[in-house]
Amino acid sequence: MDRILLDAGSGGKASHRLIHDLFFRLLDNDYLTRMDDAALLPVSGPVAVSTDGFTVSPLFFPGGDIGALAVHGTVNDVAMLGARPRFLTAAFIIEEGFLVADLERIVTSMAKAAKEAGVLVVAGDTKVVPKGAADGMFITTTGIGEVLAQPAPSGHRARPGDAVLVSGFLGDHGLAIMASREGLSFDVPVVSDCASLNGLVEAVLAAVPEVHVLRDPTRGGLITTLNEIAAQSGVEIQVEEAAVPVRPEVASGCSFLGLDPLYLANEGKLVCLVPEAHGDAALAALRAHPLGRHAARIGTAKAGPSRVVITTPLGGQRLADMLEGEQLPRIC
Amino acid sequence: MDRILLDAGSGGKASHRLIHDLFFRLLDNDYLTRMDDAALLPVSGPVAVSTDGFTVSPLFFPGGDIGALAVHGTVNDVAMLGARPRFLTAAFIIEEGFLVADLERIVTSMAKAAKEAGVLVVAGDTKVVPKGAADGMFITTTGIGEVLAQPAPSGHRARPGDAVLVSGFLGDHGLAIMASREGLSFDVPVVSDCASLNGLVEAVLAAVPEVHVLRDPTRGGLITTLNEIAAQSGVEIQVEEAAVPVRPEVASGCSFLGLDPLYLANEGKLVCLVPEAHGDAALAALRAHPLGRHAARIGTAKAGPSRVVITTPLGGQRLADMLEGEQLPRIC
């Protein structure tokens, strides 16, 4: 059988074959293969929980695929609470006729991403919908982690004086998806940054006694994330545009397409706010990690209205609000 | 705005309006409205976790809708581990152009079901895909519960001699969906049984010191569930067909449509295996609960090959295997 048929989601024999022959083989662990209605996990509270649906198009893109993304994205959301992600659940909604080889490639990629991040996929579900009722495949993952830092980093904890850091180049994921979807190529290939950031988070937490905010700037990009933090904490966030790391090829690709890299999704970057006194230590900890080599301090939180103000390279200032409308659908 | 547009899934202003004006208003609780990347939950381990994707068609059906179903289904999977469901996450994948009024009706229904089951929806995600990329709406819920019974009931714990009970009439949900989809009506209306069974589970656990197996016979129905238990525990399960509760209108509807109610999905029923000595107490506990009034003992587990054997009303015996093929897609 080279395509997924409706009966693979029936709960009957074909479902069981798919579960045993593909999911259990690739994601093998004792929690999953017990096959009870729920998995029993040895975590003690408080636990951090996050869920995300993935609808990215195309399913395979430079630097990753929907399977890797579904692991990285949820691992990162859990990690942003200063927690250690330990378990994932994964629910697949698959269009009838989907290639089994593509499913195998996607689940293999999930397994690899999960192993690298140190998480186990402990429960799952598969539904198959008739041809035309979904576009290929959607995956929803939920992550469960153990809290490492108390109080946990939160968008509510930014304080005037905090240093604002990012862990590396922005906009790679968004532009890679856009280019892949539109069949564009650049002289220097643009590749998604998708990666699990839990190791990077642990490095920062170990280096700095007080991390106020951790957040990954996915949909809506850096500016949307900073606006959320400004609103939640009641601070003004000032950003030096020239300090924000953007690869030259991403800057020129965005310029060509009329996109702003500061609003483009990232899947392997974090924003970090720490008290001014710990700014240098946090930056050093980020840069010492392979996923944070290009980290930079990009600004400062101030007492002021809840907003994001960008200082341009020429010294001008402008408000940077969240976007109205949709710059780029199905980015994650 | 009366329809969901693509930008409602963008992460920008339209996303934030939808989250605040609809989801937070209807599902209000402190965990959810904190709006961090993950929720921090005060549970003590071990925890039971389950995930399920819901793709039911039509979205509204006699006795429920996809929102109620997404709560009941996952609450039940967690409860079947002998756990008390406490928290849910919900990820929505919505087709562009979906009616806001329908979304509001569905989320209202989730809120009501969650309240009745005593669970909080603590984290969520919304993606909007272009028209034609999904059929209306899919919801994936993940449930987290605290374990009440140790060792937990499991499909692996059936033992020869166990009494096999069901909590009520079988096949209602599957036939209701089928009839609704095909525009069929019966003299006596058939309504989905969808309901959260955590209260019923707690009643049984309180009445009986040792519950070997709890499972809700959803996709694939009673026979599929019994086959799973037989395979996991290495027992033969014998069922008296005449003892299985099926409403007369469901029996006749199934007969008309060529369906077997024992393979039809249920969304508010459970199968329970307990040692023979506790069979009567378990049955009494089920019957004393409003959701178990029509509970019945339907059979016995025996030493023997892993299979399900049905004794017909005339005394004949037949093997009842899982189905090949798909009887009824998009039932949940």
How many domains does chain B divide into? 2
- When computed from its CA atoms, the radius of gyration of chain B, rounded to whole angstroms, is 20
On average, the pLDDT of chain A sits at 95
Q: Is the minimum CB–CB distance between A277 and chain B shorter than 8 Å?
A: no
Tell me: do A121 and A171 sit in the same domain: no
Residue B21 lies in a domain: yes
Tell me: do B132 and B258 sit in the same domain: no
Tell me: do B95 and B143 sit in the same domain: yes
Tokens of A79: 């990690």
Residue B1 lies in a domain: no
On average, the pLDDT of chain B sits at 95
Tell me: do A279 and A311 sit in the same domain: yes
| CATH for B172 | 3.90.650.10
Q: How far is B314 from chain A (nearest CA, A)?
A: 27
Q: Which of A24, A49, A57 to mutate to test the interface with B (most CBs of B within 10 A)?
A: A49
Residue B324 lies in a domain: no
Q: Is the minimum CB–CB distance between A226 and chain B shorter than 8 Å?
A: no
Residue B124 lies in a domain: yes
Percent of all residues in chain A with a pLDDT value above 90, rounded to a whole number = 86
Q: How far is A36 from chain B (nearest CA, A)?
A: 6
The domain of A125 spans 6-147
DSSP output for A274-324: E-GGGHHHHHHHHHTSGGGTT-EEEEEEESSSSEEEEE-TTS-EEE-PPPS
The pLDDT tens digits for A91-112 are 999 999 999 999 999 999 999 9
Tell me: do A66 and A203 sit in the same domain: no
Tell me: do A140 and A283 sit in the same domain: no
Q: How far apart are the first and last CA of chain B?
A: 29
**Residue among B48, B127, B215 minimizing CB distance to A53:** B127
The pLDDT tens digits for B55-113 are 999 999 999 999 999 999 999 999 999 999 999 999 999 999 999 999 999 999 999 99
Residue B155 lies in a domain: no
Q: Is the minimum CB–CB distance between A17 and chain B shorter than 8 Å?
A: no
Tell me: do B118 and B168 sit in the same domain: no
Tell me: do B281 and B186 sit in the same domain: yes
Give this complex's ipTM: 0.96
Tokens of A105: 């490639």
A84-113 residues touching B, CB cutoff 8 A: 87, 89-93
pLDDT of residue B327: 67
Residue B186 has pLDDT above 90, yes or no: no
Contact A78, B89 (CB under 8 A): no
Tell me: do B258 and B314 sit in the same domain: yes
Tell me: do B280 and B142 sit in the same domain: no
Residue A174 lies in a domain: yes
Q: How far is B245 from chain A (nearest CA, A)?
A: 22
Residue A55 lies in a domain: yes
List the single range of A181-190, A202-211, A284-293 with lowest mean pLDDT: A181-190
pLDDT of residue A330: 85
Residue A311 has pLDDT above 70, yes or no: yes
The pLDDT tens digits for A134-174 are 999 999 999 999 998 889 999 999 999 999 999 999 999 99
pLDDT of residue B328: 74
Tell me: do A172 and A308 sit in the same domain: yes
Q: What average pLDDT does the segment B148-162 reach?
A: 94
**Phi, psi dihedrals of residue A38, rounded to the nearest 5°:** -140, 165
The pLDDT tens digits for B63-75 are 999 999 999 999 9
Q: Which of B30, B33, B92, B142 to mutate to test the interface with A (most CBs of A within 10 A)?
A: B142
Q: Which of B147, B177, B194 is the last residue of a domain?
A: B147
| CATH for A88 | 3.30.1330.10
The pLDDT tens digits for A45-80 are 789 999 999 999 999 999 999 999 999 999 999 999
**Other CB atoms closer than 10 Å to residue A119's CB: what's the count?**
24
Tell me: do A185 and A314 sit in the same domain: yes
Q: Which of A147, A182, A206 is the last residue of a domain?
A: A147
Residue B114 has pLDDT above 90, yes or no: yes
pLDDT of residue B37: 84
Q: Is the minimum CB–CB distance between B50 and chain A shorter than 8 Å?
A: yes
The neighbouring-strand residues paired with A322 are: none
B247-266 residues touching A, CB cutoff 8 A: 265
Residue B325 lies in a domain: no
CA distances from A185 to A5, A39, A265 (A): 35, 44, 19
| pTM, two decimal places | 0.96
Q: Judge: A140–B91 Cβ closer than 8 Å, yes or no.
A: yes
HSE (side-chain half, CA atoms, 13 Å) at A33: 11
Q: Which of B121, B147, B173 is the last residue of a domain?
A: B147
